[in-house]
Amino acid sequence: EIVMTQSPATLSVSPGERATLSCRASQSIYINLAWYQQKPGQAPRLLIYGASTRATGIPARFSGSGSGTEFTLTISSLQSEDFAVYYCQHYNNWPPYSFGQGTKLEIK
Amino acid sequence: QVQLVESGGGVVQPGRSLRLSCAASGFTFSRYVLHWVRQAPGKGLEWVALISYDGSDKYYADSVKGRFTISRDNSKNTLYVQMNSLRAEDTAVYYCARVYGSGYGGGMDVWGQGTTVTVSS
């Protein structure tokens, strides 16, 4: 089973600054990775798939990178609506389709 | 518009059963692989099960294998999960979600609003 580990658990960043979130897979998942954003009381929202492709309607300030076991979600110039919890999820060598434990992005 | 709407949640005693439904609209239901994903209170996301386009392939998380059954009725544009032998640890918000594009892999691009299941005596 592939284990997804996200870091840090909580990230404090000021509006307008850049945020960098990490996700590590316990074995290579190539680029079979998605990122989601979840706000309190809401369903998750797909941001990135294929490690680096933005989903429909996702602003360009969100970017994904990485392959193999190391992945990064970068949010440039944070907006107030970006403060949320972010999850990575793999879809390689399933089941299961494991999620990371999440990174809470909070206002500094 | 493209939409998934879950229903069927509620409070149930340990050991009892519950069936959740997920009604789809705005897209060709039979062309998409579908998931159930859950989220325990204050916790992260946990994948539960997946079903293929025609329902012939089904996959489950170890935590629910043998107790949950995923199914779909393409004539009714509805996804189901039958949950038997419920445990306290099954308490969660249950989401249905659509796989983006064709195939079994890919992100989940459409999610329902979730339905809450509470297992308690």
Tell me what pLDDT residue A32 has.
Answer: 95
Using an 8 Å CB-CB cutoff, list chain A residues near B33.
none
What does the alpha-carbon distance between residue B21 and residue B30 come to, in Å, rounded to a whole number? 16
Q: CA-based diameter of chain A, in Å?
A: 39
B3-26: average pLDDT: 98
Among candidates A46, A50, A98 on the partner chain, residue whose Cβ is nearest the Cβ of B108 = A46
What does the alpha-carbon distance between residue B117 and residue A10 come to, in Å, rounded to a whole number? 28
Among candidates B47, B105, B106 on the partner chain, residue whose Cβ is nearest the Cβ of A99 = B47
B105 pLDDT band, cuts 50/70/90, is confident
Tell me what pLDDT residue B96 has.
Answer: 98
- Cβ distance B11 to B115 under 8 Å? no
Q: Phi and psi at residue B41, in whole multiples of 5°? A: -55, 125
B73 pLDDT band, cuts 50/70/90, is very high
What does the alpha-carbon distance between residue B64 and residue B60 come to, in Å, rounded to a whole number? 7
What does the alpha-carbon distance between residue A82 and residue A60 come to, in Å, rounded to a whole number? 13
HEC sequence for B17-69: CEEEEEEEECCCHHHCCEEEEEECCCCCEEEEEEECCCCCCEEECCCCCCCEE
Per-residue pLDDT of chain A (108 residues; tens, 9 = 90+): 999 999 999 999 999 999 999 999 999 999 999 999 999 999 999 999 999 999 999 999 999 999 999 999 999 999 999 999 999 999 998 888 999 999 999 999
Best probe of the A interface among B4, B32, B47, B115, by most A CBs < 10 A, is B47
Measure CA B108 to chain center.
12
The label of the residue with tokens 């204050």 reads B42
Tell me what pLDDT residue B102 has.
Answer: 75
DSSP string for residues in A44-95: -EEEEETTTEEPTT--TTEEEEEETTEEEEEESS--GGG-SEEEEEE-SSPS
Q: Is it the case that residue B94 has pLDDT exceeding 90?
A: yes
The more confidently predicted of residues B5 and A92 is B5
Tell me what pLDDT residue B103 has.
Answer: 78
